[in-house]
Amino acid sequence: MPSSEPKAKIAPFPSRSEAPAAEKLGLTHRPRRNRKSEWARRLVRENVLTTNDLIWPIFVIDGERRTEPVASMPGVVRYSVDEAVRAAENAAALRIPAMAIFPYTDPGLRDPHGSEALHDQNLVCRACRAIKAAVPDLGLVTDVALDPYTSHGHDGLMRGEDILNDETVAVLVKQALNQARAGADVIAPSDMMDGRVAAIRAGLDGEGYEHVQIMAYAAKYASAFYGPFRDAVGTNKTLIGDKRTYQMDPANSDEALREVEQDILEGADMVMVKPGLPYLDIVRRVKDTFGQPTFAYQVSGEYAMIMAAAQNGWLDGDRAMLESLLAFKRAGADGVLTYFAVRAAEALRDG
């Protein structure tokens, strides 16, 4: 049966003359006044993204005059060493402070011990020497971990199914020294072995490389967002099992602070949280707790998601890119490793 209740009348929206005075509503402060125009928004902006905040990760391969697209990372390529030099020159022209170098090691050079990591003519070492010769003022960050060099795809040495901690650390020290001799400015251990920062610091200092910095992957999580990176370095097909016995559980936050504190006490000059956007809460806690130079890695999966959505027309790629990078600054990061570095630097220059 139809209701006998009379329908409520909707009051018309008051005209400007009928609207209550601001004083009666308590609106003596109107936040929108500071948003009324671009110049006003710029004046009160709390965080600013600049090219000084960017580190560009690149992938290197064997050969000459060669670039090779990474299928799962649209716009990202692997560079032969000579092409990496040209990429570095472009980065320097854009005033990007530093590059991070990762190798795609020929499968024939990979073995259970990661021996290629210790060769002074491996891809990373050759790229460091060539880039330093051409662009000496560009910072070079090198990854210390065995996964690009092992036939099993793990960051450390294996015995059966176990990843060996102390035996791996001894090899990582040699790898770090190999990279420092090739001209690396920043050694970035990403392996998550216990005690590796102290051992690497002692090894560098003992060989006269006190000036070489350490950027520790201090809170690196066992994340699903690394898939495209593993395609880029060729470890997706080689990885046996997973990395959850040494990379962090995504459920944990307090543990990240303990990991970061340990790396700082062992001599890390800078600390990193990886991945980035899903872990902004960790970035904020680390920066607030320790006040140390804190970086985040906008990893391959984050990059690929933004690029895929942009290519499908689901969002504005440049705006999403810059907004995502600004989020790191707002969370407290001093800088970001991002595959968007060149594109972001160009947008910041032109904007």
Q: Is 92 exposed, middle or buried (0-12, 13-18, 19+ CB in 10 A)?
A: middle
271, 294 contact by CB (below 8 A): yes
Neighbour count for residue 246 (Cβ, 10 Å):
17
Residues whose CB is less than 8 angstroms from the CB of residue 272 and which lie 6 or more positions away in sequence, other chains included: 188, 215, 216, 217, 218, 219, 220, 294, 295, 296, 297, 337
What is the distance between the alpha carbons of residues 177 and 172, in angstroms, rounded to a whole number?
9
DSSP letter (8 states) at residue 62: S
331: tokens are 């969370």
User: Annotated catalytic residue: which of 132, 243, 274, 329?
Assistant: 274
User: Annotated catalytic residue: which of 9, 24, 174, 220?
Assistant: 220
What is the distance between the alpha carbons of residues 314 and 329, in angstroms, rounded to a whole number?
25
Sole residue written with tokens 């559980």: 249
Compute φ and ψ for 79, nearest 5 degrees.
Answer: -115, 135
The yes-or-no answer on residue 329 being catalytic is no
Neighbour count for residue 130 (Cβ, 10 Å):
18
250, 223 contact by CB (below 8 A): yes
157: tokens are 């040495």
Active site residues: 220, 274
